[in-house]
Structure 1
Amino acid sequence: MFSDIYFRLLLEVMERDSHIQSIPKLIDDAKRAELNSVRNFYLLIRSAYQQYPQTNIGFEFGGHIKPINACDFSRLITTADTVYAAFSLLVDQYPRLSLKVFPQLYRNERDLSIALSTPSEYLLKDGYRRFSSETFFRYCMSILKDLTDREVKPKKIYFDYPKPKYADEYQRIFACELVFDAPLAMIVFDEAIADTALSSRNPYLHDVYLMKSQETWQGMKRQQSFRYRAISQMMQGYPKSFNSQWLAQSLNISTRGLQKRLSAEGSSFSAILQVVRREITKICLYQKHEDFDEVGKNLGFQTQASFRKFFKQQFGISPRMLEESICEEPIN
């Protein structure tokens, strides 16, 4: 489902950046041609941040992705009826692009927010976390700017990395309060935009693109690593997915087969469970503002003591300290 458009567009952005002096040798694997663009996409990103850690290629790249003229993935999003329907599809379909980012959509009576969850060690290095946030949030803004008849600005955006040198560019585009070094990357809008109709909505074409998306996914999903597919299922199916039997059934495999497939990739159910629990903890506490004790119960911990121990091991701080770092008071 990952289109060559994105890889080639990123290549153009890199070639225009004077700080990036060389382009890495790209992969051309005839046996796994479907994955060449994804793997080369990662190669370009890694190379860019290694050559110039303060590069703004994620921000520039995000600004060039226009939903109305991109690939079938974007056409599926843009033919939806409303902003909420488009964002829901974006969150549901995004993990299928193999970009190792799992958006989480949440709506209450006040806010509509999308948080970016990153349950992968890879994203902790080489600037990819920054690249992902810049690209995704600018894409969201393009949907609202290009496909609605109203001027929409975020209420607040949180970034889970230090303030970059070019942060003034963020303010120019997003025009809202920005918070850096947050526990979770998240963009927050007023809930009132959720039911805004898209000017590009088209029920007939939407059904066509949805069917095409499903067909493409059936042919492509086995190209992803089994570990990635398992994490995708867990992120989208929690809290039910924290049960190995449920996860195995959702992946059409036996529980024993699940463990064998994960072991073959150097992982295990307990290992990915810990990674996903960490991310869902941040989603529940930071995005949804759920009760701490209730979160522990939903994550499958038998006692609050075991959840607090897990929390301290993962975040290095007490629950009270995280609550204070999250937000002194709810966003209004």
Structure 2
Amino acid sequence: MSRKAKGLSLLFVVVMGMLFLAAYEQGEKPQSTHLHPSLWELEDRPYYFPTKASIQSKITYQVLQRFDLIFVGHDPQQSPEISDAKRINLAYAIPGHYTHVLMYVGKDSNGLAYAVEMNADKDQTFRVTPYELTVGGQLYLYCLGSDYAARSCPNDTYIYGLETYDYMQAKRLEPRLYQQLIQQEAGILSVMQEDLEQGYPFQIPVHFSLETSLSKAIPLIDDGRQHGADCVSYFVSLFEEVAGVCLDEVRIGAAELTEYYSKSEEGRKALLPARYNFVHHETIPFRTILNELGYRLVDTPVRQTRCSDQRTVQGIATPDRLFRSSSTVAIDRVLR
């Protein structure tokens, strides 16, 4: 096989592998006909969320209110029980400590807490055309359980598996931005309810098509709410485009991503495991795609937001950038 052909095959396999691995972030999703509560039925009541800063940390609780963000991640050094694919591709392939995010939205009449989450579907379905590659997925409503796990979620609900993560922590928008968000509460709930009912689609944050094989350019995607979203861009675009609330320092650009995979200790460990490389059956470092095969990440176009300051944005949001943004603040921990 020629170097060019091998490069194209490797790129396709890498994209496929990343799509397959995206489903690992998802909570347990049993097949059922259970009707979830409407977001309008949920009350903005406090939820005692179990949090831990590391795999060794004792569980404490954060008292959440509506629209608080829950961040989770895996520690590949301290969690030998998780699979190689999950340990490597979630802890290393996604830059930063936290690799996934969801948002608390309220409690039902039985005291069960719920969160919304954007993710790939568990069946790992995808579709390839000459113009684009898409992966199945949508916005989900997950049952988190009751305070202190006193009451479990019904068996026929979608249950988010928080216990599968090594660390988890929630944050809140800083007071000024949170007040702006709450003023748009009805509009935000209305949009999310419509997204849940219509299956607002999952979108991977890179564009891959036949043109990629000619240009060797891999464009990053951040198009607001136009064609779907991934786990973090859903909430960032919801805040920006629906509530007019812009957050600082939540995006990363193509140059910084390339440097992460090429030079950082964590990024250089990001691998596509051999089990997902069904063409060459070998483990491939992500840096090989960028440094040896000549492919390059390309920044998103500069995009105008609907925020009150009329700001423009560029790059893709990541869970860890959102967690560390100056626009979010810590939520106090309490013991049971």
- Say yes or no: TM over 0.5: no
TM-score for the superposition, normalised by structure 2? 0.26
Higher helix share: 1
Larger RCO (alpha carbons 8 Å, 6+ apart): 2
Higher strand share: 2
TM-score for the superposition, normalised by structure 1? 0.27
